[in-house]
Copies of this chain bind each other. A is one copy, B any other.
Amino acid sequence: MTPDTPADASARRPALTRGRIVRAAIALIEREGADALSMRRVASELDVAVMSLYNHVPNKDALLEGVAEHVVSGMELQDDPSAPWQARARALVRAFRTVAHEYPRCMTVVLTRKFHTTVGLRPAERALALAEAAGFDGVTAVRIMRALMAYALGAQMREIGFGKWLHHLDTSPAADFARLDAGEFPHVIALGPVLARHDPEADFEFGLDLLIGALEALPRAADV
């Protein structure tokens, strides 16, 4: 045994890379939430001085960008171009949902960052491809892509808790519904039991069905 040789040391603590830093950040966020992420915490997680990180990442913002891009690049975008475009559209939107379930606490970061690489273009390309296959013209294809993205993002926010405007009802339904002004919120009160029931999967599919169904009803270039 030759302890403490450089080879040994690097085996115990592999070379610092951007990838290792990003993965440590992701692990930290999933474990303690996005608020717990700090350059200092990541550094100590990697057993390294804070400033060492700056040799591989220009600043914290860039690190968060790296986190967002890593997560999105994990989207499973296998596609069967011969399948009906409706099925392809469903699979695409669900792929975003799947990755969101894989990195639930990182989603706040993903939904909040702009991308500076092409990683965000992969889902866009898919959406445009299937819209074209469905027979829509270019302008419509772009609008379809944007509508699908809007729904995917918004539905995810609702599930995470973003935009969860009924939060105090979700947590202690019975007690809170009773306290509501019956004159102001008659429907909320009447539907209290339904609102308290949670089936995010069904909610998500309901909205997705609405959108896909609406696209089927849309006039297409192929019809002309």
The reply on A84 being an interface residue by CB < 8 A is: no
Q: Interface of chain A, helix or strand or loop or mixed?
A: helix
Which of B150, B187, B209, B218 sits near A129, CB closer than 8 Å?
A: B187
The reply on A221 being an interface residue by CB < 8 A is: no
Docked Cα-Cα span, A122 to B119, in Å, equals 38
Provided the pairs A141-B191, A150-B154, A194-B138 are in contact, do residues A123 and B165 lie with their beta carbons within 8 angstroms? yes
Query: Could you mark each residue 117-140 of chain A with 1 if its beta carbon is under 8 Å from any beta carbon of chain B, else 0?
Result: 111111111001100100000110
> Are A143 and B207 interface neighbours, CB within 8 A?
yes
> Are A146 and B158 interface neighbours, CB within 8 A?
yes
Docked Cα-Cα span, A141 to B203, in Å, equals 11
Stretch from A10-18, A25-33, A46-54, A108-116 contacting the other chain: A108-116
* Residues of chain B contacted by A24 (CB below 8 angstroms): none
Docked Cα-Cα span, A114 to B213, in Å, equals 32
Shortest distance in angstroms between A221's beta carbon and chain B's nearest beta carbon? 14
> Are A116 and B167 interface neighbours, CB within 8 A?
yes
Docked Cα-Cα span, A44 to B81, in Å, equals 59
> Are A121 and B191 interface neighbours, CB within 8 A?
no
Which of the four size classes fits the interface of chain A? 35 or more
The reply on A178 being an interface residue by CB < 8 A is: no
Query: Could you mark each residue 42-65 of chain A with 1 if its beta carbon is under 8 Å from any beta carbon of chain B, else 0?
Result: 000000000000000000000000
The reply on A39 being an interface residue by CB < 8 A is: no
For A153, A155, A163, the residue with the greatest tally of chain B CB atoms inside 10 Å of its CB is A163
Docked Cα-Cα span, A181 to B138, in Å, equals 20
Docked Cα-Cα span, A120 to B161, in Å, equals 13
> Are B154 and A124 interface neighbours, CB within 8 A?
no
The reply on A166 being an interface residue by CB < 8 A is: yes
> Are A162 and B166 interface neighbours, CB within 8 A?
no
Which of B125, B165, B210 sits near A184, CB closer than 8 Å?
A: B125
* Residues of chain B contacted by A155 (CB below 8 angstroms): 150, 154
